[in-house]
Structure 1
Amino acid sequence: MLIARLIAEPSTLEEALDGLIANLADTDAQVAHAAMLDFCDDVLQIESPGDDMAGLRAALDTHFPHSDAILARNVISVPEVFVSDMDSTMIGQECIDELADFAGLKDQVAGITERAMQGELDFETALRERVGLLAGLGEDAITQCLAERIRLTTGARSLVATLKSRGCRTVLVTGGFHHFADSVAEQLGFERVVGNRLEVANGKLTGGLVGTITDSSTKKAVLVEEMAARGQNAVSMAAGDGANDIPMLEASTYGIAYRAKPKARAAANGWVDRGDLTSLLRLLEIPEKDWRIS
């Protein structure tokens, strides 16, 4: 049994659903039932008796191209573990790009960031190259950047607080830096933070990093570790937007691509393209009256 929940444009919902049902009628992903959820009346649930996830996914992309959705092989439930990327997911910016702006290197660094997120560059090489360009920048620039440039993504506070209220373990894991992530995690209420550390000497960035690199394999490992701590059948949700998030998204029960790059979106079984992060609460069937704010 396949289950898809989605939020789409109300004015075209009926027409799009009719097209989806007709498209899948003679396939292994045919629609057996479709109805709006009782407690989240903007969420459409579609059920298919088969196991053709790829076919259902392709049809959803065709008929509901601008939507928020989760696809699953079992009943969709509130996760016990939530692991999220930070840059362009829990916050609206790429921290290293904003920091580079203070050094007059934003365009140069942003270009490397974009290629890394698209999966065109090896993450560690791209990270070290970008950090190296920041050598000599005062550590106080980080504090200023946090205050002036970094903004939480709409819905992030409610998402994290509400999941925690349901007993979900929340972890922020980033290929970015603890200088930013620790503050963001505190604002949002994440219980654990994993990230990279910028090396500082005499109040200035050296252009180096301290310790091991937090990369795509680290993100996946953190998710697997947290799931194992909750038991063999723990339900997990991961959110991210770039190529570096793909292994984590693929390893989670619900891998959510948040306004993501094409490769990350293709690897996920859920996405948020239309609304904000509270769409995930609706898709998990948590009514708005039960949402929390940290």
Structure 2
Amino acid sequence: MLIARVIADPDTLETRLDAFAAEVADGPVPMAHAAMLDFCGDVLQIESPGDDMAAMRAALDVHFPGSDGLIARDEIRVPDVFVSDMDSTMIGQECIDELADFAGLKDRVAAITERAMQGELDFKSALRERVGLLEGLPEDAIDRCLAERIRPTDGARALVDALKSRGCRTVLVTGGFHHFADRVGEQLGFERVVGNRLEVSGGKLTGRLVSAITDSGTKKTVLEEEMARRGAGAVSMAAGDGANDIPMLETATYGMAYRAKPKARAAANGWIDRGDLTAVLRLLDFA
């Protein structure tokens, strides 16, 4: 059985639901039941006896474009573990791009970042190339960048606080840097932070990283580690926006693609295209 929840334009919801039901009637995911979660709410729940999640997703994308949604095979509930990407997910910026602006290299670095997020470049080599361009930048540029450029995504703190209030373990894991992530994690209330470390010598960035690179494999491993601690039957949720998040999104019970690149969105069973991060709470049926 599949359960789908969708937040869409209320003015066209009934018409779109009728068209959706007609399309799937004779297919692998016929609609068995549909109703709003709350009488005065805006979250539509659709149930199907089918098991073809890809077919359900394709039909929802056609009939509810520009929506927020989540598809699951079991009853949707509050996760036990939440692991999230940072850049362009929990914050609205790419830290390395903003930091590069202080070195007059933003356009050059941002172009590499975009290609890496689209899955066109190997993440590790792209990261090393971008970090190398920052060689000689004063370490205090990081503090200025944090103060002047870095802002939480709308709803980020509310999402973390709400999940923690229900006993959910929250982890921020990023292909970015601890110089930023530690403070963002503290500001948003995350209980654990995992990221890369910039090497600093004499008060300046050396253009190198300290220790192993946090990449897509690391993100997936962190999710699996946290789930193992919770034991059998635990439910996980991950959030991200780029190709580096795909293994984590695919592994999680609920993979939420936030304003994501096409490849990341296609890999997830949840998506936020319309609202802010509090839409996740509405899809989870928080009061």
For the superposition of Structure 1 and Structure 2, which TM-score range results when normalised by the shorter chain? over 0.9
1:211-222 paired onto structure 2 within 5 Å: 211-222=211-222
Distance 1:182 1:217 in 2: 20
3-state SS in 1 of match to 2:104: coil
| Alpha-carbon displacement from aligned partner over 1:211-253 (angstroms, at most 9, x marks no partner) | 1100000000000000010002210000000000000000000
2:82 is aligned with 1:82: yes
Instruction: Name 1:192's counterpart in structure 2.
Output: 192
Instruction: Name 2:210's counterpart in structure 1.
Output: 210
Q: What percentage of residue pairs aligned between the two structures are identical?
A: 78
3-state SS in 2 of match to 1:150: coil
Distance 1:49 1:103 in 2: 56
Gaps of 5+ in 1: 288-294
| Alpha-carbon displacement from aligned partner over 1:11-38 (angstroms, at most 9, x marks no partner) | 1111111110000010110000000002
Instruction: Give the conservation status (yes or no) of the 8 Å contact 1:25–1:31.
Output: yes
3-state SS in 1 of match to 2:196: strand
Distance 1:248 1:233 in 2: 18
Distance 1:32 1:54 in 2: 17
The root-mean-square deviation of aligned C-alpha atoms, in Å, is 0.7
CA shift in 2, pair 1:97/1:39, >3 Å: farther
3-state SS in 1 of match to 2:4: strand
| Alpha-carbon displacement from aligned partner over 1:113-141 (angstroms, at most 9, x marks no partner) | 00000000000000000000000000000
Distance 1:164 1:192 in 2: 12
Instruction: Name 2:100's counterpart in structure 1.
Output: 100
Q: Which amino acid aligns with 2:58?
A: A
3-state SS in 1 of match to 2:144: helix
Instruction: Give the conservation status (yes or no) of the 8 Å contact 1:69–1:283.
Output: yes
Structure 1 stretches (4+) deviating beyond 2 angstroms? none
3-state SS in 2 of match to 1:11: coil
Distance 1:222 1:203 in 2: 31
Q: Which amino acid aligns with 1:269?
A: N
Instruction: Name 2:259's counterpart in structure 1.
Output: 259
Instruction: Name 1:175's counterpart in structure 2.
Output: 175
Distance 2:233 2:37 in 1: 26
2:148 is aligned with 1:139: no
Instruction: Give the conservation status (yes or no) of the 8 Å contact 1:40–1:286.
Output: no
**Aligned-pair distance for 1:165?**
0.3
Instruction: Give the conservation status (yes or no) of the 8 Å contact 1:40–1:285.
Output: no
Distance 2:228 2:17 in 1: 38
3-state SS in 2 of match to 1:176: strand
Instruction: Give the conservation status (yes or no) of the 8 Å contact 1:7–1:44.
Output: yes
Distance 1:217 1:142 in 2: 26
**Aligned-pair distance for 1:39?**
6.9
Distance 2:134 2:7 in 1: 42
TM (normalized to structure 2)?
0.99
Distance 1:58 1:148 in 2: 41
Give the paired residue count: 287
Distance 1:164 1:141 in 2: 33
1:222-241 paired onto structure 2 within 5 Å: 222-241=222-241
**Aligned-pair distance for 1:2?**
0.1
Q: Which amino acid aligns with 2:9?
A: E
1:125-136 paired onto structure 2 within 5 Å: 125-136=125-136
2:50 is aligned with 1:72: no
Q: Which amino acid aligns with 1:254?
A: Y
Distance 1:38 1:44 in 2: 9
3-state SS in 1 of match to 2:174: strand
Instruction: Give the conservation status (yes or no) of the 8 Å contact 1:2–1:71.
Output: yes
Q: Which amino acid aligns with 1:200?
A: V
Instruction: Give the conservation status (yes or no) of the 8 Å contact 1:139–1:203.
Output: yes
Distance 2:39 2:105 in 1: 49
Distance 2:115 2:38 in 1: 43
Instruction: Give the conservation status (yes or no) of the 8 Å contact 1:40–1:282.
Output: no
3-state SS in 2 of match to 1:209: strand
